[in-house]
């Protein structure tokens, strides 16, 4: 249920938990869910910086919060930048658990500690498992990790091990380009 509808211009929210928990709720409001909407948002949540045209925040009152960002979404962390049309991030007990990134031009770039590009990719749908550090890319997926380039409809990329797994998914082709100069 929608408890509040808050619009802002160029809002910066440092600690979303504080803002959500300080919403006045009395007996006239249902306490099952709390929904908030923001426009033109820049948000910092743990080690993530997120910019988008709009954001909907749903507090499920169970330690679980769902953020839905839409329009020119950019998510920046220490090692990865993700750009997409829509992003759905699920937090439990203030920790990112899962994320889904959607859009024809969705992309990611991964950097090393020196901020040098080590991998990049595109797909129409990304699913991110934060615990396993795995990006699952669906529909028109493409990944380049510097020495290998893979395209297909289903690609899994491990952000820690930096390995790529491609699946033909229903018989669709997988294309692999190997840089022979990187082979010993």
User: Is 79:110 a contact under the CB 8 Å cutoff?
Assistant: yes
Q: d(Cα 175, Cα 53) in Å, to the nearest integer?
A: 35
- In a 13 Å sphere around the CA of 6, the CA atoms on its Cβ side amount to 18
Is residue 148 assigned to a domain? yes
Q: % helix / strand / coil in the chain, to the nearest 5?
A: 5, 60, 35
Q: How much is the pLDDT for 28? A: 46
Is residue 3 assigned to a domain? no
Q: How much is the pLDDT for 146? A: 84
Q: How much is the pLDDT for 34? A: 63
Q: d(Cα 43, Cα 46) in Å, to the nearest integer?
A: 10
Considering its fold, how many domains does the chain have in total?
A: 1
Q: Using pLDDT thresholds of 50, 70 and 90, give the confidence band for residue 33.
A: low
Mean pLDDT of 121-133: 91
Higher pLDDT, 104 or 136: 136
Phi first, then psi: what are they for 33, rounded to 5°?
-135, 150
Higher pLDDT, 19 or 38: 38
Q: How much is the pLDDT for 14? A: 46
Q: How much is the pLDDT for 102? A: 95
Tell me 78's DSSP state: S
Q: d(Cα 43, Cα 80) in Å, to the nearest integer?
A: 16
Q: How much is the pLDDT for 149? A: 92
Is residue 5 assigned to a domain? no
Is residue 2 assigned to a domain? no
Is residue 19 assigned to a domain? yes
Q: How much is the pLDDT for 132? A: 87
Is residue 1 assigned to a domain? no
pLDDT digits (tens, 9 = 90+) for 57-84: 887 777 788 999 999 999 998 888 999 9
Q: Using pLDDT thresholds of 50, 70 and 90, give the confidence band for residue 32.
A: low
Q: d(Cα 151, Cα 97) in Å, to the nearest integer?
A: 27
CATH of the domain at 51: 2.60.450.10
**Could you list the residue range(s) of the whole structural domain that residue 154 is in?**
11-182
Mean pLDDT of 145-171: 87
Q: What's the pTM value of the predicted model, to 2 decimals?
A: 0.73
Is residue 6 assigned to a domain? no
Mean pLDDT of 140-146: 91
Is residue 4 assigned to a domain? no
Closest CA to 81 of 125, 102, 50: 50
């Amino acid at each position: 249920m929608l408890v509040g509808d808050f619009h802002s211009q160029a809002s910066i929210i440092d600690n979303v938990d504080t803002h959500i928990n300080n919403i006045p709720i009395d007996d006239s409001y249902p306490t099952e869910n709390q929904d908030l909407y923001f426009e033109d948002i820049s948000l910092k949540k743990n080690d993530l910086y997120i910019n988008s045209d709009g954001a909907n925040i749903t507090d499920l009152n169970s330690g679980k919060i769902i953020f839905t960002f839409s329009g020119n979404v950019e998510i920046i962390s220490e090692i990865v930048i993700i750009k997409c049309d829509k992003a759905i991030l699920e937090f439990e007990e203030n920790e990112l658990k899962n994320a889904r990134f959607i859009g024809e031009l969705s992309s990611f770039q991964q950097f090393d500690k020196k901020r040098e590009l080590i991998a990049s990719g595109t797909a129409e749908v990304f699913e991110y498992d934060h615990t396993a550090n795995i990006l699952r890319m669906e529909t028109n997926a493409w990944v380049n990790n510097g020495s290998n380039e893979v395209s297909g409809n289903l690609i899994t990329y491990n952000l820690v091990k930096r390995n790529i797994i491609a699946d033909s998914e229903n018989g669709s082709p997988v294309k692999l380009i190997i840089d022979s100069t990187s082979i010993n």
